[in-house]
Structure 1
Amino acid sequence: MIRKATLALSVAAIAMVPALSAHAQDRQAPAPVLTTPEAQDAWTYAEPAEARVSHVSLDLVTDFDNRRIYGTATLDITAGDDADTLVLDDAGLQIGTVTDGEGNPLSYELGAAKNVDAMGEALGRPLTIAIGDARQVRIDYVSAPDASALQWLPPEATAGGEKPFLFSQGQPISNRSWIPTQDSPGIRQSWDARITVPEGLVPVMSGVRQAGDMHEWGNGWTSYGFVMDNPVPPYLIALAVGDLTHRDLGPRSGVWAEPSMVDAAAEEFGDVEAMIDAAEDLYGPYRWGRYDMLLLPPSFPYGGMENPVMTFLTPTLLTGDRSNTDVVAHELAHSWSGNLVTNASWRDSWLNEGFTTYFENRIMESLYGAERAAMYADLDWGAMIADIDDAGGMDAPSTRLHGEPGETAGQLDYFKGSTFLRTVEKAVGRDRFDAWLRSYFDRFAFQPQTSAGLIADMRANLLTDAEFAAIGVEDWIYGPGLPGNAVHPESETLKAVDAQLAAFNAGGPASAVDTEGWATQQWLRFLRGIDRTQDAARLAELDNALTLSNSGNAYVQSAWFELAIANRYEPAVPAMRAFLDNVGRMLLIRPIYAGLVEQGDWGMEIARSAFAQSRSGYHPIAANMVEGILASE
């Protein structure tokens, strides 16, 4: 039962004051929902052809004691004259009253849930509201303590150790656990919010903070207002609350973090303003105003999340040498590919990630030169080949770009998608390709997109019939494996690493490996290339010479633990368990848990024990992933 009595009294005065509501005339009208077969979203209950949400207005209180968000969502509806029901997505929300814009009660029904095996999570339930003639709906609700989008961290799990922390992660289908709306990427919505938090905590959101809408109530609560006038896919509505401070990095960029982390973050991400300039020079104006970043606690499950105006980032990027700022470039590039032009359904997530990975590499080339960009792309190539092999080879259905949602192997959405675009670029020349891609972002700005829509645009605005056939565009997108014309960038920097790797694999001493000045990517090339079968003495030599178990680079540690696990190297287990207890980024912990499971009883015992110890510190999305790995035994 929710301990709401004292909290409700504390915020009673807040409820008497109208929440922030953006003026409708300032909002951009959302693009129509696509109705083509490829645009159909299997992961939503919504029926947008009948009635769709166009704007969401949130008035919410963050209850850290009970790990709940409660308040109201007011939805503006676009519907035909004969539409009398609105279907929303709901994952565990406790629904109170539902009324129209005038306060008249509306009847509603919660339908049956269905599961999505590929994601290891439920779609939730359809929330069907009888709207009649109403075109605005107000829902009073409370989120569940285990809402899949939300992670509530106690003070001891933060850098400062004194105040709690909350953050959300909505992609792909988790925002329905704290916002009742149509949670589909093809149903774009503008939004505004008033967020009320305990005094001493600061909220940030993926919307523009309204300077005049902060209010200290004098009863232990403070409210802040946010607005996003551009219509966005609802997975991009994001919230974080904590002991946060800000540093400007440029005229339109900055970083938020806990006070003890903000200086390191500002140093690591100091190139971001130059990245924005490079991105605009390549593919047109940045259309979101500010570009701020938020450095989250270690439990954040991703490297970054491209929430508009407030990219969320993992602290595992802080290696002191800016070698992992390709992640920042990636999230920035999403401001065009993903946030501006969005996959209409998760069957086409490569349209977000493949385009962004290509764009990211072009930003890195503009700032740091062709060789550094080639190093990133060459490493991605190796990861792509490994993903294809792990999927079962070139004929595996999960190696298609356009496929079933959530079933694309590994990171092929990223790496095969970007390789396709690089192959097209080579076929037509960079100047033609860049002119097309810049115009593509203009033509489809703030709209959903499908693979079929992309192909039509390439035919109309980029490729001749002969070029289309020679490239094999449809085979790339709808076929499995990797076509023979794929362009493989090769890095001279990594070739030098390969020479040292060959010497080590031939029996050379670990002490002869010269790692001076190595960036993360060079470390990964070396560690991933070591022969997988090693004896304990050789692993001890390697660890002692290169300080792998206690490296300050989380990428290096993860790659090393993969090798140690493959050889059941017991001396690495304590450091590995500590790593799993302190890092929640799925890219880094997934291969460790998967490797342990592959080792049978020896590994399963370690994996289960480590997960039991670390689970409470993982975001629900990461915890669900690990549970799926352990269940695959």
Structure 2
Amino acid sequence: MTSPSTVLLPHTPDHATYSNYVSVETTHLHLDWTINWEKQLVGGSVKHEMKVVGEEEGGLKEVVLDTRDLEVKRVEVDGKDAKFTISAAHETLGSALHIALPTSYAKGNTFEVLINYSTTADCSALGWLEASQTKGGLHPYLYSQSQAIHARSLIPSQDTPSIKSTYSASVHSTLPVLLSAIRISPSISAPLETGGKTVEYKYEQKVKVPSYLIAIAAGNLVYKEISKQGENGASWRTGVWSEPEQIEASYWEFKEDQAKFVAAAEKLTGRSYDWGVYDVLVLPPAFPYGGMENTCLTFATPTLLAGDRSLVDVVGHEISHSWFGNLIGCSSWAHFWLNEGFTTYLERLLMQALHSPAERGLSYIIGAKALSDSLEGFEKKGNKRFQRLVIPYHEGEDPDDAFSTVPYDKGSNFLLHLEITMGGLDVFLPYVQSYVKTFAGLSISTDDWKAHLYAYFTKNGGPEAVKKLDGVQWDAWLNGEGTKLPVDMSQFYDASLADAAYDLAARWAAAGSDEKKLAAFSKEDIASFGTSQKVVFLEKLETSSISPLAVAKLDEIYSFTQAGNAETALRFYEIALASGDAYAQQAAVWVQDKGRMKFCRPIFVAINKVAPELAKSTFKEHAGFYHPIARRMIAKDLGVKL
């Protein structure tokens, strides 16, 4: 999968894992699970095929794996019972599972470790929904979210992105099961059982993945194919999964763009799609992210179903992860920007390839506002380390605490800066393709990336290209803190689609509370706007303090709270709540079924500023709806103890 000449530089240890992954690594794991719907547990076993990769005096004597809130019942090494101990639990990292080996193993030796275990009620990777919380209301639902370090609460594992392995699984369930892998049985063409009979679902992932990409979803799920393998020469097929009640809406939303995104990304990266299947699973609304790039099966929020295909760019982002993040991954969460920066960069190239350069520019403009908000937020909280691209995490620190748009937008702007510096896309895209070819299948650090960048342009540009690279403010981009980028990138964005939105925002800001001026606005003002232009308009307007009267007129004329588009509703509520508490109750109702953290966290924070008791009481009443990751972060935002 990668060139045998590829040599990685020594990596700084991943401080978010207890595993002794530098000494021994999992090459394949097999999961044998049974889903207990009544008790909301997943139990069974995991078998690790392991290889000693480090030199240790006297040989390898133990395996250390990450666990958190798991009930470990029995461990075997090469078929024989093995002694094990579990360390005291760390609040964030969980517990180290120490497995004594029956004999010492030298470098190159292989062996198998079988662990019988069960999840517990405190498993942070799993979201369990009662039937009443689903679209259909007839069956319960289960889904996982393991990024960044939640896989250890689902599987005793080397829970670090440094380690990639293939995996297979047999899952027994009375409801259909999906995994981030290729289904072996039941047949792809067979409808899945929902009648209460226990069925064994077998899956296989032949491409190596890190632990956080092992994903599961189960419930009343149906499928609709979008494109077949072999269609237009493709080596892959695409489709969509959801509950039956929204399968037609999901299919309609994605059918025009899903296969086009994959094909365009193949062309841009210079590498065929490796994973065989690209399906999208539209989850219930409690899912905490816009999308999650689980291999073969992107998990997507139902807030993308806007009814006008205006939000499918999120799928373009997740498809881009098939090359950046999934195929080439960061070696630790300190280098997470390599995943998200490259993915966002490719996503925006897709916008240019499939639409226009102006669409790429508009995406950078929207991202710039989100980036500014994140940088300002970390500044106010005193978490300036999280403004960096390469984050110096403290020992035992939770990578979720640094989650923001910084790795996405600061990262993609850095790559855009390099593109411009080196001579434009015609020069830079061949480098990106070389990067993919060189590091496919590996977990790398920022130093690995930079070394390859210099090596490529030394060979393909000579001293002049190297001089350009030497002129880059490397430390400021990678390790710099503050609320501004080292270079003002806005001068390079194509703003042609944004200009009309800026003009309209300026008119509203100038109108103030003048009823005569406010009466001059009409719904025709935004009739030609796409969703992205509406977002730019609202975000620009947010920088001007507008009166409660103007806020009411804004909603009355443009119907942002009634349109069913979560992206525009979010921005409207942020504007409204900044002007007072008139919309606090309405926002509190809106947020009750928005599990995506992009929506629920800022709205709870905004309500908390104008109506703190309402924010806290609403969250406490509906806390059970949110995924454990979102629940913990909202509680921290509001200062609430659960």
1:491 aligns with 2:504: no
Q: What CA distance in whole angstroms lies between the structure 1 residues aligned with 2:49 and 2:585?
A: 53
User: What displacement does 1:632 show?
Assistant: 8.3
Q: Which residue of 2 aligns with 1:389?
A: 376
- Taking a change above 3 Å as real, the CA distance of residues 165 and 30 of structure 1, as seen in their structure-2 partners, is farther
User: What displacement does 1:518 show?
Assistant: 2.7
- Taking a change above 3 Å as real, the CA distance of residues 497 and 105 of structure 1, as seen in their structure-2 partners, is same
C-alpha distance after superposition, 1:326-372 (max 9, x if no partner): 11010000000000000000001100000000000111111112122
Q: What CA distance in whole angstroms lies between the structure 1 residues aligned with 2:199 and 2:627?
A: 26
Aligned length: 593
Aligned counterpart for 2:592 among listed residues 556, 581, 586: 581
Aligned counterpart for 2:151 among listed residues 175, 179, 192: 175
User: What displacement does 1:569 show?
Assistant: 2.5
Q: What CA distance in whole angstroms lies between the structure 2 residues aligned with 1:192 and 1:371?
A: 43
CA contact (8 A) 1:388 1:409 kept: no
Q: What CA distance in whole angstroms lies between the structure 1 residues aligned with 2:129 and 2:253?
A: 25
CA contact (8 A) 2:348 2:360 kept: yes
Q: Structure 2: which amino acid aligns with 1:263?
A: E
TM-score w.r.t. length of structure 2: 0.88
Q: What CA distance in whole angstroms lies between the structure 2 residues aligned with 1:343 and 1:471?
A: 22
Q: Structure 1: which amino acid aligns with 2:94?
A: G
Q: Structure 1: which amino acid aligns with 2:518?
A: P
- Taking a change above 3 Å as real, the CA distance of residues 31 and 321 of structure 1, as seen in their structure-2 partners, is farther
Give the SS at the match of 2:88.
Answer: coil
Map 1:121-132; keep pairs closer than 5 Å: 122-132=92-102
Q: What CA distance in whole angstroms lies between the structure 1 residues aligned with 2:472 and 2:321?
A: 26
- Taking a change above 3 Å as real, the CA distance of residues 306 and 348 of structure 1, as seen in their structure-2 partners, is same
Q: What CA distance in whole angstroms lies between the structure 2 residues aligned with 1:177 and 1:583?
A: 25
Q: Structure 2: which amino acid aligns with 1:242?
A: G
**Runs of at least 5 residues in structure 2 that lack an aligned partner in the other structure:** 104-109, 229-236, 394-398, 459-464, 512-516
Q: Which residue of 1 aligns with 2:479?
A: 478
User: What displacement does 1:217 show?
Assistant: 13
1:319 aligns with 2:306: yes
1:402 aligns with 2:390: yes
Give the SS at the match of 2:99.
Answer: strand
Q: Structure 2: which amino acid aligns with 1:61?
A: T
Q: What CA distance in whole angstroms lies between the structure 2 residues aligned with 1:33 and 1:183?
A: 23
Q: Which residue of 1 aligns with 2:421?
A: 427
User: What displacement does 1:545 show?
Assistant: 1.7
Give the SS at the match of 2:223.
Answer: strand
Q: What CA distance in whole angstroms lies between the structure 1 residues aligned with 2:438 and 2:113?
A: 32
Aligned counterpart for 1:512 among listed residues 497, 522, 528: 522
Larger CA deviation: 468-477 vs 360-369 = 468-477
User: What displacement does 1:57 show?
Assistant: 0.4
CA contact (8 A) 1:28 1:229 kept: no
Q: Which residue of 1 aligns with 2:28?
A: 55
Map 1:275-354; keep pairs closer than 5 Å: 275-283=261-269, 284-354=271-341
Larger CA deviation: 531-540 vs 368-377 = 531-540
Q: What CA distance in whole angstroms lies between the structure 2 residues aligned with 1:176 and 1:158?
A: 27
1:550 aligns with 2:562: yes
TM-score w.r.t. length of structure 1: 0.89
CA contact (8 A) 1:210 1:227 kept: yes
Q: Which residue of 2 aligns with 1:147?
A: 123
Give the SS at the match of 1:392.
Answer: helix
Q: What CA distance in whole angstroms lies between the structure 2 residues aligned with 1:28 and 1:391?
A: 38
Aligned counterpart for 1:207 among listed residues 151, 159, 181: 181
Larger CA deviation: 321-330 vs 344-353 = 321-330
User: What displacement does 1:129 show?
Assistant: 0.5
CA contact (8 A) 1:33 1:49 kept: no
- Taking a change above 3 Å as real, the CA distance of residues 184 and 34 of structure 1, as seen in their structure-2 partners, is farther
CA contact (8 A) 1:70 1:143 kept: yes
- Taking a change above 3 Å as real, the CA distance of residues 229 and 220 of structure 1, as seen in their structure-2 partners, is same
Q: What CA distance in whole angstroms lies between the structure 2 residues aligned with 1:329 and 1:205?
A: 21
Q: Structure 1: which amino acid aligns with 2:473?
A: G
Q: Which residue of 1 aligns with 2:231?
A: none
Give the SS at the match of 2:498.
Answer: helix
Q: What CA distance in whole angstroms lies between the structure 2 residues aligned with 1:533 and 1:224?
A: 55
Larger CA deviation: 91-100 vs 75-84 = 75-84
C-alpha distance after superposition, 1:516-567 (max 9, x if no partner): 1432222222222225534332222222222233331111222122122222
User: What displacement does 1:442 show?
Assistant: 1.0
CA contact (8 A) 1:30 1:446 kept: no
- Taking a change above 3 Å as real, the CA distance of residues 140 and 624 of structure 1, as seen in their structure-2 partners, is same
Q: Structure 2: which amino acid aligns with 1:504?
A: W
CA contact (8 A) 2:194 2:220 kept: no
CA contact (8 A) 1:596 1:603 kept: yes
1:415 aligns with 2:389: no
User: What displacement does 1:174 show?
Assistant: 0.6
Give the SS at the match of 2:15.
Answer: coil
Q: Structure 1: which amino acid aligns with 2:26?
A: V
Give the SS at the match of 2:554.
Answer: helix
Q: Structure 2: which amino acid aligns with 1:520?
A: T
Larger CA deviation: 380-389 vs 295-304 = 380-389
Q: Structure 1: which amino acid aligns with 2:303?
A: T
- Taking a change above 3 Å as real, the CA distance of residues 432 and 204 of structure 1, as seen in their structure-2 partners, is same
1:257 aligns with 2:242: yes
Aligned residues: CA RMSD:
2.6
Aligned counterpart for 2:602 among listed residues 584, 591, 596: 591
- Taking a change above 3 Å as real, the CA distance of residues 375 and 219 of structure 1, as seen in their structure-2 partners, is closer
CA contact (8 A) 2:8 2:448 kept: no
Q: Which residue of 2 aligns with 1:12?
A: none
CA contact (8 A) 1:44 1:182 kept: yes
- Taking a change above 3 Å as real, the CA distance of residues 30 and 185 of structure 1, as seen in their structure-2 partners, is farther
User: What displacement does 1:388 show?
Assistant: 2.7
1:231 aligns with 2:208: yes
CA contact (8 A) 1:76 1:135 kept: yes
Q: What CA distance in whole angstroms lies between the structure 2 residues aligned with 1:255 and 1:485?
A: 40
Q: What CA distance in whole angstroms lies between the structure 2 residues aligned with 1:593 and 1:352?
A: 29
User: What displacement does 1:515 show?
Assistant: 1.8
Aligned counterpart for 2:44 among listed residues 67, 71, 96: 71
**Runs of at least 5 residues in structure 1 that lack an aligned partner in the other structure:** 1-26, 116-121
Q: What CA distance in whole angstroms lies between the structure 2 residues aligned with 1:494 and 1:298?
A: 30
Give the SS at the match of 1:36.
Answer: coil
CA contact (8 A) 1:83 1:132 kept: no
CA contact (8 A) 2:303 2:565 kept: yes
User: What displacement does 1:485 show?
Assistant: 5.8
Q: What CA distance in whole angstroms lies between the structure 2 residues aligned with 1:584 and 1:340?
A: 28
Q: Which residue of 2 aligns with 1:605?
A: 613
Q: Structure 1: which amino acid aligns with 2:435?
A: Y
1:541 aligns with 2:553: yes
Q: Which residue of 1 aligns with 2:514?
A: none
- Taking a change above 3 Å as real, the CA distance of residues 363 and 408 of structure 1, as seen in their structure-2 partners, is same
Give the SS at the match of 1:552.
Answer: coil
C-alpha distance after superposition, 1:194-229 (max 9, x if no partner): 01111xx21111000003679989983111100011
Q: What CA distance in whole angstroms lies between the structure 1 residues aligned with 2:194 and 2:632?
A: 39
C-alpha distance after superposition, 1:381-419 (max 9, x if no partner): 232233333333999443210013436573110001000
C-alpha distance after superposition, 1:23-63 (max 9, x if no partner): xxxx999999978243x111100111222222110000111
Aligned counterpart for 1:269 among listed residues 254, 271, 279: 254
CA contact (8 A) 1:183 1:234 kept: yes
Q: What CA distance in whole angstroms lies between the structure 2 residues aligned with 1:136 and 1:388?
A: 46
Q: Structure 2: which amino acid aligns with 1:377?
A: Y
CA contact (8 A) 1:30 1:54 kept: no
Q: What CA distance in whole angstroms lies between the structure 2 residues aligned with 1:250 and 1:369?
A: 24
CA contact (8 A) 1:33 1:48 kept: no
Q: What CA distance in whole angstroms lies between the structure 2 residues aligned with 1:163 and 1:262?
A: 16
Identity %: 32
User: What displacement does 1:292 show?
Assistant: 0.8
